[in-house]
Structure 1
């Protein structure tokens, strides 16, 4: 199968139109129609469905188009590599960051990386911690900044602690519990609970914590797997509470009117770690990245 034909098929399916694809690739529509015919002859069946609003992929068409998209992605990455090399960048570092860290402290770290660029390019990925671990295992990432302790076995990965962290209950700044000393877990029973486990890599820690606090009948009214700012907005405006990493969430107190509760029991630690593969930790790019991140955290996380 001609790789160029697969790339052209991918563009046709992405745009849903042979005409639009021809315009985008600066070729004639008959040329693309012939390409589709060649692919269909080779596949032994139709790769496109023609409908009222354009074309869509058949099953085999979708599979072949995905191969075409991968060829396009590889070509684009090769072009980027050339541009980076010409700019003096030697190598790249693929960095995974959990959503909570991305929303709180890591943005400022990468601001410094722009102002004082490293001698390598940075490719950033923001996903939940479990997915970033899988990416590390599959060699799709070089390093991940995520919770140090995860409820899973991670053979072949190396991790080191970046800073200590613990969980805390947050409410809106105007909530009476924000000003009360030694809040009892029972005081939280009538609040709406917002779970942010998916964005913090906390898994079922919210449920476990509620049981430990003697609140087995309380269930989160909302489970968030998106931007943490939504949670803070809900805390500001409603009688709600949420369990969040104390030091990271504290960085939002200047932007949102939220506050930690002075709970009379201590919640579990939730330290933040840097994860790499065992064999990759000594790479010069990773060594440099860790040094920069360590300096940043020493002056930022208090």
Structure 2
């Protein structure tokens, strides 16, 4: 089967219109219509149906369009690999990072990795829980994520390189901001709590402090909404304290003292697959990331945290 037919079908399904697909493909509608007809002859059944809202795939059409999407993605990746080759890059490495790490370190991280001219780096932001699985499957080369994940580590190497501990932060409109004493549990129970990163490896439940009171909102997969609320409202949330302060979006007087022991460790580790560490190129990039994380840990203020 001609893969171009599947690629064209995928674009038609995505656009929901033959005319819009023609614009994207830079071909005439009769040409695209003939391509769809060729595919339908091959299949022996329709792959598209017309509705008043445009065109929609039949069951077989949808399955073939999914294959076409993959062909399109592989084609684009192939073109990018060629561009990388002509630009002098040796290889591409995919590095998973959690949302707060990305927000807090993006400027320093970009400056560090831009100096490396041999490799292309693809940074992928997402929850640690999801990305650790991608690492185990070989879809990530490295992962910068919380060190204390509840996962089987038999095939993984973990190097703890950035020290942190969780802390409780209040929004800038909170009456608790700037308090120079431990806030009682009775007061904490009356506050508007939110949860951040339930699936991203940096969650301490409010219930660790305030018993059975439920948080009224939860945010996962992104940290931007949480930081916005800390700037504009009176919410309370637990976050990795050092990283949160590194964002520049929250201030030290927003971190309050709460009853009980110190906040849990929220260190960041460099995760990788043990079997890959024997590969020279992989080992070089591992060292590049390790040096960056160690340098960051040594150069950034600990903000008085017991680390």
Structure 1 and Structure 2 fold alike (TM over 0.5): yes
Q: Does 1:169 align with 2:168?
A: yes
Q: Which residue of 1 aligns with 2:305?
A: none
Q: Which residue of 2 aligns with 1:119?
A: 118
- For the 8 Å contact 1:93–1:286, the answer to whether it is kept is no
Q: Which residue of 2 aligns with 1:41?
A: 41
How many matched pairs?
295
Q: Does 1:263 align with 2:262?
A: no
Distance in 1, matches of 2:107 and 2:66, equals: 32
TM-score by length of 1: 0.89
Q: Does 1:240 align with 2:232?
A: no
Distance in 2, matches of 1:217 and 1:263, equals: 16
Distance in 2, matches of 1:300 and 1:74, equals: 41
Deviations 1:78-136 (A, max 9, x none): 1111111111111111111111111212443123323x234100111111111111111
For structure 2, list consecutive stretches of 5 or more residues without a partner in the other structure. 303-307
Distance in 2, matches of 1:281 and 1:295, equals: 21
Q: Which residue of 2 aligns with 1:72?
A: 72
- For the 8 Å contact 1:233–1:256, the answer to whether it is kept is no
TM-score by length of 2: 0.88
Q: Which residue of 2 aligns with 1:134?
A: 133
- For the 8 Å contact 2:97–2:143, the answer to whether it is kept is yes
Which deviates further from its counterpart, 181-190 or 87-96?
181-190
Deviation at 1:76, TM superposition (A): 1.2
Deviations 1:248-288 (A, max 9, x none): 11123x43456111223222111111111111234222232
Q: Does 1:223 align with 2:223?
A: no
Distance in 2, matches of 1:164 and 1:9, equals: 50
Go from structure 1 to structure 2 and tell me whether the alpha carbon gap of 1:185 and 1:118 turns closer, same or farther (over 3 Å shift): farther
Distance in 1, matches of 2:289 and 2:265, equals: 25
Q: Which residue of 2 aligns with 1:193?
A: 193
- For the 8 Å contact 2:161–2:290, the answer to whether it is kept is no
Distance in 1, matches of 2:166 and 2:295, equals: 24
Which deviates further from its counterpart, 192-201 or 83-92?
192-201
Distance in 2, matches of 1:154 and 1:9, equals: 43
Deviation at 1:154, TM superposition (A): 4.0
CA RMSD in angstroms, aligned pairs only = 2.1
Deviation at 1:161, TM superposition (A): 0.4
Deviation at 1:174, TM superposition (A): 4.9
Residue aligned with 1:191, SS = coil
Deviations 1:8-31 (A, max 9, x none): 111111222222222322323222
Deviations 1:24-80 (A, max 9, x none): 223232222222222223334322121123212233222211211111111111111
Q: Which residue of 2 aligns with 1:23?
A: 23
Residue aligned with 1:200, SS = coil
